[in-house]
Copies of this chain bind each other. A is one copy, B any other.
Amino acid sequence: MTKHQPPESVSRPESDRMRHKKQAKRAAILEAALREFTDNGFADARLSAVARNAGVAKGTLYLYFDSKEKLFEGVVRETLLPSGEEGIISDNPHHLSTEAFRRSMLASVADLQNSGRSGIALVVLTEGRQFPQLVEIYVNAVLEPVLAQIDRLAHSDDTARLDVLRRFPQLLIAPVIAGLLWNRFMTGYPPIDLVDIASAQLALVLGDEAASNTAESNEIMD
């Protein structure tokens, strides 16, 4: 009765300070979860460890994410997707020139390799069985556009060796995937540089006129 405030606002949600704190906490949780999932995979990831490393109690996790699955989904959505493979994907459905394609693909691969995203990509890849809807998200957001761009490239001018891409657009990304797995499992062997192997495959498929280019661009990237 004493309230002269508008009655419809029964629960005043948040002040600015609070919003920031919650955002920060959410970010901390996601960061800790990214680490935990990357290191241990989904099944062996411990929510207690995520909570500890995020500096919160276990129960707090459930104020931000409904379940372990949703937390994983959150990590994928906010870590893997945002930067995406912009280089290759881009918004414009125009097809790139062969050289432009080569450059943007290598840039994407370099980005993937140097960010923590490759770890999560690998988890999606290896434990995707349990999360069909996650795989679908990833496919729609990343794989499809990449393959579409490859397909566009395959239907451009040079029909010489490009027709193999029309049958198997996956050929261009296969070495990257295999390289990710190699680096994960073949500990004790020298790791594969994803940019180098992607570059080698590009040379095989598109021609190797840029073999020296590649070396240059590598130096620049590192």
Other-chain contact of A204, B173, B184, B204 (Cβ < 8 Å): B204
Copies of this chain in its oligomeric complex: 2
Q: Is A100 an interface residue (CB 8 A)?
A: no
Beyond A43-B43, A164-B203, A204-B204, is A170–B185 a contact (Cβ under 8 Å)?
no
> In the complex the two chains form, is B184's CB within 8 Å of A170's CB?
no
A62 at the B interface (CB under 8 A): no
Q: By DSSP majority rule, is chain A's interface helix, strand, loop, or mixed?
A: helix
Confirm or deny: A177 has a beta carbon within 8 angstroms of a beta carbon on chain B.
Answer: yes
Residues of B within 8 A of A174 (CB): 174-175, 177-179, 197, 201
Taking the closest CB of chain B, its distance from the CB of A8, in whole angstroms, is 46
- Asked if A171 is at the interface of the complex by the 8 Å CB criterion, the answer is yes
Question: Which one of A171, A179, A185 has the highest number of Cβ atoms from chain B below 10 Å of its Cβ?
Answer: A185
Please name 13 pairs of A and B residues whose Cβ atoms are closer than 8 Å in the assembled complex, sorted by A: A44-B130, A125-B126, A129-B185, A139-B186, A168-B175, A170-B178, A171-B175, A171-B201, A174-B175, A174-B179, A177-B177, A177-B178, A178-B178
- Beyond the given pairs A170-B175, A171-B200, 4 more chain A to chain B contacts, judged by CB atoms under 8 angstroms and listed by A's residue number, are A129-B184, A168-B196, A170-B178, A171-B201
